[in-house]
Amino acid sequence: MSSPSNEAPRIVIVGAGPAGVRAAETLVAAGLAPVVLDENARWGGQIYRQPPATGGFARSKRTLYGFEAKKADRLHAAMAALLPHIDYRPDTLAWGVSAKRIDTLHAGRAQSVPFSHLIIAGGATDRVLPLPGWTLPGVFTLGGAQIALKAQGCAIGRRVVFAGTGPLLYLVAYQYAKAGAKAGAQVAAVIDTSSFAQQAAAVPRLANDPVTLAKGLYYAGWLRAQGIRIVRGATLVRVRGERFVTGIEWRVAQRAPLAIDCDAIGLGFGLRPETQLADLAGCAFRFDSRSRGWLPSLDDAGRSSVAGLYLAGDGAGPSGADAAELAGRRAALALIDDLGVARPRMSGIDSDAAIEHRMRRIAAFRAGLDAAFTPREPCASPWPDETIVCRCEEIDAGTLRASIRNDGVTEINRLKALTRAGMGRCQGRMCGEAAALLLAEETGRSLDAVGRLRAQAPVKPVPVSLALHSGAVPEIAEEARDE
């Protein structure tokens, strides 16, 4: 797609993590000046999140990023060099897309940013599955626990248990254990719902990236060497506590439940892509059986089904920071080609074939991670009826089951309409997959057969006045005008 010759392209990038930074770098090298919208205060994304620039909190990159310190430093330096050549907008939430405009919120003020071309590099967030007590104060996502440590230099508790599954489980536990007394935290245990046999069977595929595999083995081995308890093949039973977390229970196989005392829990079951903006923009989606979720349909370069709209990084499917950097470059090159602009000559940009070769190797490794850490089935049937599934609207599993059984619900948006699950502040970002799992198991249907929640603006909470003013909620806006 080429822009009209009498009008300069207006390129917007959402996200300033590895994918967004490399996309911006490639565009600038081609003589283009994108707008970069960053929800965070400083660039780097989640994996290379920087501490606040003010407030006196300073830690070395080696301390913050461990083995990835050099990669983090290169990415941070690349973005710093780009600042004079781009329109960088930190602390800016992109919460809606319509008609070649993206709705944003900065410092309490709304602005609609026009674009001719859009690269969405919005990253991923924790996949959370409910269990009794998971809404108690003291339960954090793994990403939230990591943010506290990286951005604020504090721990989520004094005695912390990390539970769930996925490579992030061991990384965050390692980071907390390394921070130790400085963060005021002790790691009491790591409770993995994936079995050792499941992880061992995935090693041949994980060997496609021996360096990353070695890092993962090192994290687990180091934790054991420090005397930290690691449990594999666990089924999480409940979080203990009344007003706040006091412990967690689990069982292995059909044995009696075990428990450990703690005052905080980091919980997560891998990552799920942030795809709401792509949905609002009209992108087609496909069901990905490997990750058991819905992803935007893209060509090999990151082009979506919508002309002029590209996706890169974990928002197109979690693949890690290295893949995100490659995908950001690749999407920017596709955009440059579509504009009819000459490709830039710069170090670090490989040929399409070289990028694709590296991406295939990473994809093979990621397939191994999915095999090693995919939550076992069934997931939802053990949840007691009183377990909260949608915490925004306080909808429990029993309410969902009753609607499915009594109303004959077989599709996720119908379940949302009847129960309000997924209508709260998070717009289904936290509870949508859990509700779909429950629906699939109750009806005996596959996950893809129950459908996906349709995104609604705002994709994240904004003041009601801004949503009404923008027309993002047309029904309410019309009623407000009538009154």
> 422 in a domain, yes or no?
yes
Query: Within this chain, do residues 199 and 290 fall inside the same structural domain, yes or no?
Result: no
Tens of pLDDT, residue by residue over 191-218, are 999 999 999 999 999 998 899 999 999 9
Number of folded domains that form the chain: 3
Cα separation, 121 vs 141, in Å, equals 21
Quick one: tokens of 479?
């009623």
What's the pLDDT band for 116 if we cut at 50, 70, 90? very high
* CA dist list (Å): 111 to 151, 309, 310, 466: 27, 20, 22, 10
DSSP 136-198: STTEEEHHHHHHIIIIIS--S-SEEEEEEESHHHHHHHHHHHHHHHHHT-EEEEEEESS-HHH
Is residue 251 included in any domain, yes or no?
yes
Residue 440's SS3 state is helix
pLDDT, position 57: 63
- Quick: pLDDT tens for 34-86: 999 999 999 999 889 888 877 666 677 777 788 888 999 999 999 999 999 99
In the three-class reduction of DSSP (H, G, I as helix; E, B as strand; rest coil), residue 226 is classed as coil
Q: Give domain status of residue 382, yes or no.
A: no
> Does residue 413 register a pLDDT over 60?
yes
Same domain, yes or no, for 288 and 395?
no
- Asked whether residue 134 falls in the same domain as residue 265, the answer is yes
Cβ atoms of 19 and 73 within 8 Å: the answer is no
Residue 458 lies inside a defined structural domain of this protein: no
Are residues 321 and 256 part of one domain? Answer: no
- Could you tell me the CATH number of the domain that includes residue 222? 3.50.50.60
Tell me, yes or no, whether 265 and 177 share the same domain: yes
From 254, 269, 284, give the residue that closes a domain: 269
In a domain, 237, yes or no: yes
Please identify which residue in the block is written with the tokens 């319509």: 98
Q: Which of 345, 365, 400 is the last residue of a domain?
A: 345
Question: Cα–Cα distance between 203 and 28 in angstroms, integer?
Answer: 40
Query: DSSP class of residue 50?
Result: P
276 and 328: one domain? yes
Whole-angstrom distance, CA of residue 245 vs CA of residue 260: 11
Looking at residue 256, what DSSP letter applies?
P
User: Do 219 and 121 fall into the same domain?
Assistant: no
Residue 435 identity (one-letter amino acid):
A
Tell me, what's the pLDDT at 2? 44
The domain boundary residue, chosen from 244, 269, 294: 269
Q: What is the pLDDT of residues 144-198, one digit of tens each?
A: 999 998 888 889 999 999 999 999 999 999 999 988 767 788 999 999 999 999 9
Residue 420 pLDDT > 60, yes or no?
yes
- 153 shares its domain with 205: yes
Distance, CA of 244 to CA of 298 (rounded, Å): 44
> What pLDDT sits at residue 135?
96
377 in a structural domain: no
Q: Is residue 24 part of a domain?
A: yes
Indicate the residue type of 476: I
CATH code for the domain of 422: 1.10.10.1100
- What are the pLDDT digits (tens) for 286-330? 999 888 889 999 999 999 999 999 999 999 998 889 999 999 999
Do residues 55 and 185 share a domain? no
Question: What does the pLDDT read at residue 46?
Answer: 87
Whole-model pTM?
0.91
Say if residue 96 is in the same domain as residue 31. yes
- Same domain, residue pair 178 and 132: yes
- Largest Cα–Cα distance in the chain? 73
Tell me whether residue 325 is exposed, middle or buried, using C-beta atoms within 10 angstroms of its C-beta: 0 to 12, 13 to 18, 19 or more: buried
Kindly tell me if the per-residue pLDDT of 224 is higher than 80: yes
Whether residue 132 has a cis bond before it, omega within 30° of 0: no
**Quick one: what percent of the chain has pLDDT higher than 70?**
93
Q: Residue 108: pLDDT band by 50, 70, 90 thresholds?
A: confident
Answer yes or no: is 355 within a domain: no
Are 40 and 142 part of one and the same domain? no
Q: Can you give the residue range of the structural domain that contains 157?
A: 128-269
